[in-house]
Amino acid sequence: MFDKLRAFPELGAKSRACILGQILDRKGGKLSAINHFQTYSQRENHVTNNTMLMLKHVYRTSPRLLEDVLQSLLDEDEVEIGPRFEQQVGEAYSIPDAVLSQKPLHIYVEAKRGDGLYDDQLERHMRSISERRHPESSAFLIGLTNNSTNVDDDERWKQRALEHGITFAATTYRELLEALDTACSNNPDLREILDDYQAFIGGENLLPDQHRKMVAMLCGQSWRENIEHGVYFEPAHRNPKWTRAHFLGVYRQKKISHVGRVVAAAICRKEDDNLIVEVEEFGTLSTEHRSRIQNIIRAAETYFKGFAADAHRYYLVDRFEETDVRKASPGGMMGHRYFDIAELAGLEDVEQNASSADMAERLTGATYR
């Protein structure tokens, strides 16, 4: 069942070389085939295929939702997916009772793992698309990258595309996720698949601001043990937080008391005296990491009966460093919350490899509402 697909990182790629990264070539509502098994080893192709699979799931649920996503990315209201239903439409010599019509649509994607879109490559794509002689206003080319493109480059590419009869748009994986999040918000099955896709994109380091994000997690009875062992845990069924934030803050009694840089994340449980690692989601568990997980499990067992046998996600940080970030508004924090560290600490930016100690020092004294 497509709506239960859970293994995006194991899925394969469609060769972008043969169709210039084309994801949709629809006449009569038909989608191009996308492979569901790994046939290419290049990670860029891997990312491309999983992105296409995500869009395909959206389409299968609702063509209108995919239309919304594409209109958001292209900033173009002319994108229409699916048939239009009209009646009493006057033609040249008659008025048929009803008409079902559908606009042709051809969307091409050049997906990059980094920032680079190149003049020569885009020009060759545009020439190839132009030679297909698609109907007017039906051909689109999307450049998908980590970071936003330079404004001057973007305008130059848009103008060149128009000369070829193509609409060009540059977007980022972050913007794609935001558009998908809006489309999937009211559909639990799509939401589940999107969570997997987001985890995959985050794991591939395709969200450029992860290094400046902190997720603050609620902590109660096990607070001392979490800090001591440098491990935070949550039920395995919850969405992974490491996909959006490189730092994890521990919240207790109206303040974030400690912060650490996430170095590994895994879903584990304990069977008899053996630690069972079901999935290593992020990083690689060392012997020392496994020992820390076992220690926190033993500690948690004193608070939560049967804790060890249930699968939990364990976040391991380099070290939880003491800080002091106060919640200034009334009431406590009701659930986990993401913060932009630069905004919270009043910094221009955050270094890519900033340490936990540095973050703790810079965040001390900050407040939020």
DSSP string, 27-70: SSSPPPP--SS-----HHHHHHHHHHHHHHHHHHH-HHHHHHHH
pLDDT over 90 percentage in the chain: 56
At residue 204, does pLDDT exceed 90?
no
At residue 20, does pLDDT exceed 70?
no
Query: Burial code of 74-83, b = ≥16 C-beta within 10 A, e = fewer?
Result: beeeebbbbe
At residue 187, does pLDDT exceed 80?
yes
Query: Taking residues 180-201, what's their average pLDDT?
Result: 87
Q: Which residue has the higher pLDDT, 69 or 9?
A: 69
Contacts of 260 (CB under 8 A, 6+ apart): 230, 247, 248, 317, 318, 319, 320, 321, 356
Poorest-pLDDT segment among 28-42, 43-57, 240-254, 267-281: 28-42
pLDDT tens digits, 64-119: 999 999 999 988 777 888 888 888 777 778 888 888 888 889 999 998 887 678 89
Query: Burial code of 84-103, b = ≥16 C-beta within 10 A, e = fewer?
Result: eeeeeeeeeeeeeeeeeeeb
pLDDT band at residue 44 under the 50/70/90 scheme: low
Contacts of 26 (CB under 8 A, 6+ apart): 81, 104, 105, 106
Tokens (6 digits) for 102: 């559908």
At residue 26, does pLDDT exceed 50?
no
pLDDT band at residue 35 under the 50/70/90 scheme: very low
- Give me the pLDDT at residue 36, please: 37
pLDDT tens digits, 341-359: 999 999 988 988 899 999 9
pLDDT band at residue 43 under the 50/70/90 scheme: low
pLDDT tens digits, 313-341: 999 999 999 999 999 999 999 899 999 99
Query: Taking residues 240-263, what's their average pLDDT?
Result: 95
Question: Which run of H or of E encompasses 177?
Answer: helix 173-184
- Give me the pLDDT at residue 344, please: 95
Q: Which residue has the higher pLDDT, 265 or 178?
A: 265
Domain boundary assignment for the chain: 2-203, 210-368
At residue 17, does pLDDT exceed 50?
no
Contact yes or no for 268/276 (Cβ under 8 A): yes
The helix/strand/coil state of 145 is strand
**Radius of gyration of the chain from Cα atoms?**
24
Angle of the 173-184 helix axis to the 188-203 helix axis, nearest 10: 170
